[in-house]
Amino acid sequence: MNIGQLMEGKICLVTGTGRGIGQKIAERFAVAGGFVYAGARQEGSLEDWAASVNAGAAGEISPIYFDMTDTAAVKQAVVQIKKEQGRLDALVNNAGVVHNGALGMVPMDKVREMFEVNVFGLLELSQLVATRFMMKQKSGSIVNIASIVGVEGSRGQTAYSASKGAVIAMTKSMAQELASYKIRVNAVAPGMVDTGRLHVEIREEYRNYVPPIGMGRLGTPKDIADACLYFASDMASYTTGQVMVVGGGYDTQSRALYHIEFQ
């Protein structure tokens, strides 16, 4: 697909760009002409990647480093963008933490970590972006990365599902609250996506995750990035409060059967 100049002139912030889906979202936005602040925690970790993307993109990626759970650092990042650009047109809340485990087997410190990043960090950054930029501009798009398990639930992922369910609820409420300011808020809910982290998480169970997917393959980071590109661009100028499941026809009931078989 030729994405042309969909994001030309738009200033964007994408969090969680250290790998996988986040990197691909930032790349797609830059290729489409956007100036993209790519957020990550580890100082200096994005420089080589950003340079390689910038060599062939219509737009530009600029690394910005902060921890989503550090209020002072988050505020400083927003101040930096305000000082350098004066506006922000698109925010993609992609940063997230996953800890899977059966009910009663996930330590509460891991549950708290998921909510600190997936829910509280997302809310804090969205509040800052909305009040410091978008409400004053009377424009903007916020895209939250949820998950199909936040919509359908999933055995062995109760805590993670709860955090992503909260993201979906926040998306719908934020959309209602911000619509009068011409700010759109939507969510992308990925199904099973072929990333390095997925291979680590499911290891030898990997072969059991493809059969329940109607399209016969795992999703790719590009599949998710293209959904984000739609929501962030003017193509979705009249779309808000929506949750787009990008799952290839993923059958959660069949997936549960495969899980039982494997166990």
Give me the phi and psi of 13, to 5 degrees please. -130, 125
Q: Are 39 and 66 in contact (CB under 8 A)?
A: yes
DSSP letter at 179? G
Q: How far is CA 173 from CA 165, 176, 187, in A?
A: 13, 5, 12
Q: Please confirm, yes or no, whether 230 is among the known catalytic residues.
A: no
Residues recorded for the chain:
263
Query: C-alpha angle 190/216/204, rounded to 5°?
Result: 80
Of the residues 37, 160, 209, 250, only one is catalytic, namely 160
Handedness of CA 121, 127, 132, 133 (dihedral sign): positive
Q: Which residues are catalytic?
A: 160
